[in-house]
Amino acid sequence: MATHSLRRTLLRVLKPLSSSSSVLETQSSVQFCFSNFSPEPSTSASSPPFGRPNFSCRSICSRRLSSLSEEPHGPAAIDYRSLLQEDEYHRLANSIIHHLLEKLEEYGDSVEIDGYDVDYGNEVLTLKLGSLGTYVINKQTPNRQIWMSSPVSGPSRFDWDHDAQAWIYRRTKGNLIKVLESELEKLCGEPISLS
């Protein structure tokens, strides 16, 4: 009975740690530990009746746990504050957002879309395209990023790229301006130049 309880406890501990390995591997590790589980004779009334794991089981289980906890869980975090000073970030981010506001207002005059509306407030630029969806572009100062929510491509986080002199989405290498131009042309049926 106590062995089953101990097995369940081990599985609960190992399962969250093994997100990158299969559940079968985790269960086989627990099974291996239990196959090496040897009850020791009770020497006193206070000793547990179910025994303790022997040394080999303990060392294998601890090696398994330490190897799981040392596995990387995604890319290392980047401290964006060290890459772009806050005043420089605000200058660059405000410049692109105000530029987009101007260009999107002009674009609204050339397309016939019910519900087309551009709004800017509290450092958030919102472009409504009626039934086609809504774009939201805003600053994320702690990360030194510009975030965009798109009805076409979903959420994206753009970082300033000094070499390209543009806001780039690291995952896809997409340029904020180019992504918007391409998506808006597909949605609205009219080309747009945001450069």
Quick one: pLDDT at residue 9? 55
Q: How sure is the predictor about 64, in pLDDT bands with cuts at 50, 70 and 90? A: very low
Q: Is residue 137 domain-resident? A: yes
Q: Are residues 183 and 97 in the same domain?
A: yes
> What pTM does this model have?
0.59
Q: Are residues 104 and 176 in the same domain?
A: yes
Name the phi and psi angles at 84, rounded to 5.
Answer: -140, 120
Q: Are residues 91 and 156 in the same domain?
A: yes
Q: Are residues 55 and 146 in the same domain?
A: no
Q: Are residues 36 and 131 in the same domain?
A: no
Q: Are residues 100 and 179 in the same domain?
A: yes
Q: Are residues 100 and 165 in the same domain?
A: yes
Range of the domain at 89: 80-188
Q: Are residues 117 and 165 in the same domain?
A: yes
Question: Which tens digits make up the pLDDT trace of 71-103?
Answer: 445 455 555 555 789 999 999 999 999 999 999
Q: Report the CATH number that the domain containing residue 99 is assigned in CATH.
A: 3.30.920.10
Q: Are residues 54 and 147 in the same domain?
A: no
Q: Is residue 193 domain-resident? A: no
Q: Is residue 50 domain-resident? A: yes
Beta bridge partners of 158: 146, 169
Domain boundary among 49, 70, 91: 70
Tokens 């597909």 map to which residue?
Answer: 186
Q: Are residues 96 and 38 in the same domain?
A: no
Domain boundary among 70, 100, 126: 70
Quick one: pLDDT at residue 54? 46
Quick one: pLDDT at residue 195? 85
pLDDT > 70 fraction of the chain, expressed in percent and rounded:
57
Q: In this predicted structure, which of 5-9, 19-23, 49-53, 115-119 has the lowest mean pLDDT? A: 19-23
Quick one: pLDDT at residue 75? 52
Domain boundary among 50, 70, 90: 70
156, 168 Cβ separation under 8 angstroms = no
Quick one: pLDDT at residue 6? 52
Q: Is residue 166 domain-resident? A: yes
Q: Are residues 93 and 65 in the same domain?
A: no
* Average pLDDT across the chain, whole number: 75
Quick one: pLDDT at residue 148? 98
Q: Round to whole Å and give the CA distance between 70 and 16.
A: 13
Quick one: pLDDT at residue 104? 97
Q: In this predicted structure, which of 76-85, 95-104, 120-129, 173-182 has the lowest mean pLDDT? A: 76-85
The predicted model gives 61-73 an average pLDDT of 45
Q: Is residue 136 domain-resident? A: yes
Q: Is residue 173 domain-resident? A: yes
Query: Domains in the chain: how many in total?
Result: 2
Q: Round to whole Å and give the CA distance between 117 and 109.
A: 10
Q: Are residues 12 and 89 in the same domain?
A: no
Question: Which tens digits make up the pLDDT trace of 146-165?
Answer: 999 999 999 999 999 999 99
The predicted model gives 98-112 an average pLDDT of 94
- Comparing CA positions, the residue from 164, 28, 153 lying closest to residue 96 is 164
